[in-house]
């Protein structure tokens, strides 16, 4: 929604210039320093960081414990924490590690480094981490282990950007970067002030760095820091305890949450909450079931991230949303799981082909995530002759929206109730009550998330008129997709093809093509005019305007018959909830404890669904945020 937007980060992550020497020690040519001594990596993790912050004693009897690892390196501190958590019968229910790294290793380099460092007994954890290791893209990446009870939140990029943009309440800080003489930017007064901003009351800090200037910077940030050790062969280190008031920690996690709306938005939130152990009641006006719901009959949709020359808010949000969707949905059962087929995103004209190629070069993102392609390369990827080149996203996914919703709402702990919620109220005890058509209370809970698309402003109006005036400007935008017989398209494309419109790989003999935008429509329906628009969009994507394609050699597709009626040309129609600026509104309603909202997803509901669920849930459960604070601000309700 409206409001100040965050500054853009450095685009490409710099090469760490790291390699193993003949002794198996990882060395950084960039900093002319080793990451760890081959025999001392776990000693440092255990005796300096864990013992120096008294982590094993302090986490016992707690529901959650959060560690900030400033300088992730090859992950030895994380692996040590995870192993200690697993072995401790008095461990906290959840362990969260927020790790910062400006020069992350690629997965293959990390594998080689850890194979040389890690005992065989711990290699299972290494393989589990590498299986989720993200592409070298700037931003926040969430990895989850032990059924979500252990999380690793990676903030990749320049620490001067990522640390101010991080959002967590931290119990222990591991200050573990390269030495101040090699990497002075990591030990400035500003860095220490940002650590203090996130410190829980009594948070502890430890570092192998013992330079007096670093200790003084910590003391200036209200850490009672001192240099200790050294006697009797003990390791020299810096230890500190935060002496300021500390950031207020989450006291309790919600045990019951209401979600109003059982579509893409509500289902994504319900899954995220239930995975964390909350009981979730989803209230939806449409009947729930395998063959019912607003997306019943919607054969397929696409989820593809965006790029922009300046890596703007929308591009960064779409990247984060794509990551969370893959993490949350690829392991769903059956048809609910997306198909990761990749997306060929075409330029709108020949001039933009060069612009898109230059954008990819400017961003410097990994080629295995996005790369520029010419018309021949794009056609080879798609398996169809395409009109021009553009870019290729390997992470593009084809999704069955209805099956996805059914799968998400089937998460254990989620109960779906058919109820037309007409208003919300809050009782004297702070419980939020949902009232049905006869004004009777159909459900109540201490927290409610309003996620019912364009109907959200009506429910929110009594509580948001002053604090969120943007909701009054939301509008519903109708649109339809068309189902084209794959036999007329040589079986359809192998990848998603996007541009001025889109064409998806075949499912059950049809390729989904779309989509229309009907402003001011009274109803959303499949129409001959809508089919004509979608067919023309497909013609614009294919070389020769699609007239050279046919299921018969040398013939042309009988496009005229495709226009003739719904029996010959089926489709699906629905609504989009659109806010000014076309960004969603996700977060807590100001000054209304327990009232949350997730709406305004516009045309990118699949992009925001899992991200919104984890963003809201992380706040409610006291986890490090999966999103930078600037991006949170950009989509906060207002």
Mean pLDDT on 26-50: 81
Residue 147: which residues within 8 A CB-CB, separation 6 or more? none
Position 37 scores a pLDDT of: 62
Mean pLDDT on 158-166: 95
**Which pLDDT band, with edges at 50, 70 and 90, does 547 fall under?**
low
Q: Are 177 and 187 in contact (CB under 8 A)?
A: yes
pLDDT exceeds cutoff 60 at 546: no
Q: Are 343 and 392 in contact (CB under 8 A)?
A: yes
Mean pLDDT on 402-422: 96
pLDDT exceeds cutoff 90 at 380: yes
Give the residue, 469 or 557, on which the prediction is more confident.
469
pLDDT exceeds cutoff 50 at 550: no
Nearest CA-CA partner of 158 in 102, 99, 100: 102
Position 622 scores a pLDDT of: 94
Position 566 scores a pLDDT of: 45
pLDDT exceeds cutoff 50 at 1: no
For the chain, the distance separating the N- and C-terminal CA atoms, rounded to the nearest angstrom, is 7
**265: which 2 tokens?**
């938005």
**489: which 2 tokens?**
């398209």
Mean pLDDT on 332-361: 96
Domains (range + CATH), the chain: 18-242 (3.40.50.150), 256-293+403-474+579-635 (3.50.50.60), 343-394+476-578 (3.30.9.10)
**Which pLDDT band, with edges at 50, 70 and 90, does 33 fall under?**
confident
Q: Are 218 and 238 in contact (CB under 8 A)?
A: yes
According to DSSP, the residues that pair with 497 across neighbouring strands are: 344, 503
Position 28 scores a pLDDT of: 78
pLDDT exceeds cutoff 60 at 557: no
Query: What's the gap between Cα 396 and its chain centre?
Result: 14
**Which pLDDT band, with edges at 50, 70 and 90, does 2 fall under?**
very low
**Which pLDDT band, with edges at 50, 70 and 90, does 38 fall under?**
low
Q: Strands across the sheet with 496-499, in order?
A: 370-373, 390-393, 343-346, 496-499, 501-503, 510-514, 475-485, 571-578
pLDDT exceeds cutoff 70 at 16: yes
Q: How far apart are CA 516 and CA 531, in angstroms?
A: 9
Position 6 scores a pLDDT of: 43
Q: How far apart are CA 394 and CA 390, in angstroms?
A: 13
Q: For the segment 85-118, what is each residue's pLDDT rounded down to a tens digit?
A: 999 999 999 999 999 999 999 999 999 889 988 8
Q: For the segment 243-281, what is each residue's pLDDT rounded down to a tens digit?
A: 999 988 776 789 999 999 999 999 999 999 999 999 999
Q: For the segment 200-238, what is each residue's pLDDT rounded down to a tens digit?
A: 999 999 999 999 999 999 999 999 999 998 655 567 899
**80: which 2 tokens?**
């040590």
Q: What is the pTM of this model?
A: 0.93
**Which pLDDT band, with edges at 50, 70 and 90, does 555 fall under?**
very low
According to DSSP, the residues that pair with 482 across neighbouring strands are: 513, 571
Query: What's the gap between Cα 439 and its chain centre?
Result: 37
Which secondary-structure segment (H or E) carries 319?
helix 313-329
Strands, E, within 159-291: which ranges? 170-175, 199-207, 223-228, 237-242, 256-260, 279-284
Q: For the segment 462-476, what is each residue's pLDDT rounded down to a tens digit?
A: 998 877 888 888 999
Q: For the segment 490-506, what is each residue's pLDDT rounded down to a tens digit?
A: 999 999 999 999 999 99
**Which pLDDT band, with edges at 50, 70 and 90, does 15 fall under?**
confident
Mean pLDDT on 275-300: 84
pLDDT exceeds cutoff 70 at 45: yes
Which secondary-structure segment (H or E) carries 55?
helix 55-58
Position 520 scores a pLDDT of: 84
Mean pLDDT on 418-439: 95
Q: Are 597 and 470 in contact (CB under 8 A)?
A: no
Q: Strands across the sheet with 170-175, in order?
A: 139-145, 150-156, 94-101, 64-70, 170-175, 199-207, 237-242, 223-228
Give the residue, 286 or 220, on which the prediction is more confident.
220
Q: How far apart are CA 467 and CA 587, in angstroms?
A: 13
């Amino acid at each position: 929604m409206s409001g100040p937007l965050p500054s853009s980060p450095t685009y490409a992550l710099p090469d760490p210039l790291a390699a193993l020497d003949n002794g198996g020690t990882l060395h950084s040519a960039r900093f002319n320093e080793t990451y760890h001594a081959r025999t001392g990596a776990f000693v440092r993790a255990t005796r300096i960081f864990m013992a120096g912050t008294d982590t094993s004693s302090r986490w016992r009897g707690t529901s959650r414990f959060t560690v900030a690892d400033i300088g992730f390196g090859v992950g030895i501190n994380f692996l040590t924490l995870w192993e200690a958590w697993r072995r401790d019968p008095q461990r906290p229910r959840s362990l969260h590690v927020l790790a910062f790294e400006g020069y992350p290793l690629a997965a293959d380099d990390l594998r080689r480094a850890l194979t040389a460092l890690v005992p065989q007994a711990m290699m299972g954890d290494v393989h589990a981490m590498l299986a989720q290791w993200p592409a070298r893209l700037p931003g926040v990446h969430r990895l989850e282990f032990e059924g979500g009870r252990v999380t690793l939140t990676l903030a990749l990029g320049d620490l001067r950007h990522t640390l101010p943009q991080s959002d967590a309440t931290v119990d222990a800080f591991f200050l573990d970067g390269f030495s101040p003489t090699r990497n002075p930017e990591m030990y400035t007064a500003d860095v220490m002030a940002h650590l203090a901003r996130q410190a829980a009351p009594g948070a502890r800090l430890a570092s192998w760095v013992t330079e007096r200037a670093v200790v003084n910077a910590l003391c200036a940030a209200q850490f009672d820091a001192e240099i200790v050790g050294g006697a009797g062969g003990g390791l020299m280190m810096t230890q500190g305890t935060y002496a300021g008031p500390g950031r207020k920690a989450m006291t309790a996690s919600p045990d019951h949450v209401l979600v109003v709306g059982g579509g893409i938005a509500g289902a994504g939130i319900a899954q995220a909450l239930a995975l964390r152990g909350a009981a979730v009641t989803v209230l939806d006006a449409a009947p729930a079931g395998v063959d019912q719901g607003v997306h019943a009959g919607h054969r397929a949709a696409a989820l593809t991230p965006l790029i922009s020359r300046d890596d703007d808010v929308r591009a960064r949000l779409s990247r984060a949303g794509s990551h969370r969707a893959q993490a949350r949905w690829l392991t769903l059962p059956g048809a609910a799981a997306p198909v990761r087929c990749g997306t060929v995103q075409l330029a709108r004209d020949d001039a933009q082909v060069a612009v898109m190629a230059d954008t990819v070069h400017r961003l410097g993102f990994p080629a295995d995530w996005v790369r520029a392609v010419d018309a021949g390369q794009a056609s080879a990827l798609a398996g169809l002759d395409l009109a021009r080149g553009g870019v290729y996203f390997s992470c593009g996914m084809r999704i069955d929206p209805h099956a996805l919703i059914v799968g998400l709402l089937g998460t254990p702990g989620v109960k779906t109730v058919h109820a037309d919620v007409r208003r919300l109220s809050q009782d004297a005890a702070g419980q939020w009550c949902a009232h049905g058509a006869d004004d009777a209370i159909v459900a109540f809970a201490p927290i409610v998330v309003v996620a019912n698309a364009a109907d959200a402003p009506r429910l929110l109006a009594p509580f948001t008129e002053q604090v969120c005036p943007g909701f009054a400007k939301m509008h519903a935008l109708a649109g339809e997709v068309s189902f084209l017989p794959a036999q007329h398209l040589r079986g359809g494309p192998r990848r998603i093809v996007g541009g001025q419109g889109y064409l998806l790989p075949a499912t059950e003999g049809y390729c989904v093509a779309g989509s229309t935008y009907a402003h001011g429509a009274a109803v959303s329906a499949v129409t001959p005019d809508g089919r004509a628009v979608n067919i023309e969009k497909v013609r614009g994507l294919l070389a020769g305007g699609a007239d050279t394609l046919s299921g018969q050699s040398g013939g042309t597709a009988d496009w005229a018959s495709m226009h003739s009626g719904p029996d010959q040309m089926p489709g699906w129609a629905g609504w989009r909830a659109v806010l000014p600026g076309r960004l969603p509104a996700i977060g807590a309603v100001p000054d209304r404890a327990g009232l949350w909202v997730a709406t305004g997803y516009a045309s990118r509901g699949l992009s925001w669904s899992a991200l919104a669920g984890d963003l809201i849930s992380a706040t409610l459960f006291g986890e490090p945020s999966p999103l930078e604070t600037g991006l949170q601000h950009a989509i906060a309700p207002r």
